[in-house]
Chains A and B, each alone.
Chain A
């Protein structure tokens, strides 16, 4: 190692790649996180991209970012502020100034910081750092564009050289973190298998970036992140949307049913459809339908016909599906509805994440229309949650709404490929031939109030179902007042009884603390990290995070009543807190709510929770 270079041994480090949305920041971010994962680090990533596919070049609106935390131990969030920021142009520097701290290493492409570039990013002077009030930084100002052109001279044209700037930056970052290049080279070879020219250019530029760092004797910190061993097994890198898709496939294998997805493209949920439709060798049927309503309605049809049927969407699409979810409630057919939440209302901020669809999922239907609501807690938990959602839907003949969000859907982390033997059985309540005599479509198992599933094609069980109220046994149309009350109660008690079939709620941290932090869904990582920091600072705090929301786990009330002070933290204006109040008489928690379309900042959470602890 060169003299004058500080090598920091770190437990974890936060890296943020940023540039124009056409600069390939998502690609290099993904490559670096995959590389780190393969080296045995823990990673959590957070792609933060603009809604515009290509905003005008160099402008603030077009800045795309990819943040990750790489850790020796388990990491739970992509981190608050960056230890290393790569800013490919002035706009990226400006937009990401909020993520810079005093000792952040900032890598810029000096060739993209000319006067006209600064003007595009609305800088008024020729010193962007000063203008942003950033002083004690360690800046690596590399002429990336020129060096790309040089290293590709006689091999590729200038256009290709410009396209390879991101890979140069990646090479430089690999040097900064003492990362060998062979894994990136392998990943690039895979990615550009069919474009040998592009591959060759990228490999040259990657090496050039690495060499540049090595040769400049830059007086910046370089890092070494220790690796620790994980649980034995095979690992891959997944984001939440892929994990969701895999969880559904796993459930269909466990249940022995064909998986059907009816779907309409919508940000940020589309990846689930794209992942499943590419898996035809597994026999999955995917329909890209004419609209959101057809997405769920084809799924309801497929469910009636005996598939594990799923539709996926985001908030606006869930609104369109409301009536059909009511049909699934009424007809009592299994259905999984995945809502990858994004900022609302209306079109909102499609690429930004928040937890604002909870009440829509719980109550957004006409009539007394109870459905199961769940929320996945992390990218990899999307697998388990999708599995559980399918299991409950199939075993209890009910729609299950699974809430994920844009943050965990696009965020990724290393994931141990599961052994399905470790997962529970899925056994739908099929009719059996001996039931044929005297069978009626709305007879139920009194233990869980679930009716029996007779799938078209089954001899001797022909019947009609539908959205009209039905007699509580025969299933014939009924407007009888007493029968309606019975059916309203049965539909509710069927959902309530699911609490007997789901895991109990767990408390993490100091069970004997006075203060309990409560969260749900995709904020687990941030809340957990905040709680751990508070505990490391010597204060006691307990933490419980909900994945099952309707019904709540059986011990939820007991836990929530046990603590002197409870603070419910969520990325909405208090939807879960309000829901808990409605379920638990006299429960009146503290709340911390932020709706900015951005993940929580751990430091801020620590501050807020500590305030409550100190009350």
Chain B
């Protein structure tokens, strides 16, 4: 009989120790809910993390968990999944952890398409070391380590993910506990590396930087929630849409300037070509709304499954099953 799980089955007894109001709480709640929906037993779930505020998350999960070292979570999670593909493997990480010190592991985990779910909690700041700029901080951002503003451009996680040939990219807002669990469920069901960028607020060092996008009153006009197979419509009154304008995208009001519903693009998350996904992912909330939901969700062989399949196919061709059998099949001579 299949067991039914509740979110509480995935909560550990540890006291949660993020700052009050931290966006990580929202992610944690959504994850508990998503895991209950997924129905994978806590003992068949492994949550891995690197270092940083977000990487504390495994301690708050009643699953197997491994809080590792800075930046290396993606590599360790990859090892867990390859060793035991039956496990549901999650990586809790942040912008510093995965896009700075762990950038190499992040892009290669995505490129290999190993079946792990990467929760990329992006607050554009180093919180645990108390407020230095991160590789996702905007140019000119003033922080303790950039008192005169940064003079470098940030990574955009979606662009990096798609550049590394990512097959699944979604974006959610930390406090959006209504929509996020379902996105996490879809990410987990996707076979291969799934990247979920969480737009996250740091109440201490970066409070309010996302407000213009995430605040309840502005969110409808500044964001668009994409659904595969549905028109790209947004706005308080659901009357705005995304249309194609040459090689670019444009936000229009339906019924104005000659635009009708027919002109509005239909979201195809399954398109192999990532060009349009990238354009959607880079919409920044100024001219065009920030895209939320599943932007890209394309099937491709998962690395861990391919390794297993290759082992099986070689086994079908080669007889040896033990070291001795293998050695005896080689160049040997007998001393009697």
Contacts and interface: CB of A to CB of B under 8 A. Distances in A.
Interface string B320-336: 11111011101111111
A159 interface: no
A237 B331 contact: yes
Interface in A458-489: 458-468, 476-477
Contact of A293 (B12, B75, B317, B330): B75
Contact of B323 (A331, A420, A465, A467): A420
B62 to A, nearest CB: 6
B66 A331 contact: yes
Contacts of A419: 324
Nearest to B55: A466
A308 B167 CA distance: 31
Interface in A379-434: 416-417, 419-420
A263 to B, nearest CB: 12
B157 interface: no
Contact of A461 (B43, B46, B322, B336): B43
A279 B320 CA distance: 9
A229 interface: yes
Nearest to A245: B323
A305 B80 contact: yes
Given A302-B80, A460-B43, A465-B66, A190 B335 contact: no
Interface string A282-302: 111101011101100111111
Interface string A432-470: 000000000000000000000000111111111111100
B84 interface: yes
A466 B108 CA distance: 23
Contact of B322 (A282, A458, A462): A282
**Chain B interface bracket (under 10, 10 to 19, 20 to 34, 35 or more):** 35 or more
A324 interface: yes
A309 B331 contact: no
Interface stretch (B193-201, B285-293, B308-316): B308-316
Contacts of A282: 320-323, 326
Nearest to A419: B324
Given A237-B331, A298-B75, A466-B58, A304 B307 contact: no
Interface in B128-171: none
A428 to B, nearest CB: 14
Contacts of B84: 305-307, 456-457
Nearest to A417: B327
A512 B318 CA distance: 54
Given A229-B335, A302-B80, A302-B82, A281 B108 contact: no
Interface string B164-197: 0000000000000000000000000000000000
Contacts of A253: 322-323
Nearest to A463: B64
B324 A417 contact: yes
Nearest to B59: A464
Contacts of A306: 83-84
A258 interface: yes
Contacts of B206: none
B44 interface: yes
A280 interface: yes
A34 interface: yes
B42 interface: yes
Contacts of B48: 301
A464 B83 contact: no
Interface string B59-85: 101111111110010011111111110
Given A250-B323, A301-B81, 10 more contacts: A37-B333, A234-B327, A285-B311, A297-B105, A300-B76, A327-B69, A456-B44, A459-B43, A460-B43, A465-B65
Q: Report the 9 A-B pairs with minimum CB-CB distance, sorted nearest first.
A: A301-B79, A466-B67, A298-B79, A297-B75, A464-B65, A302-B83, A305-B83, A280-B314, A281-B318
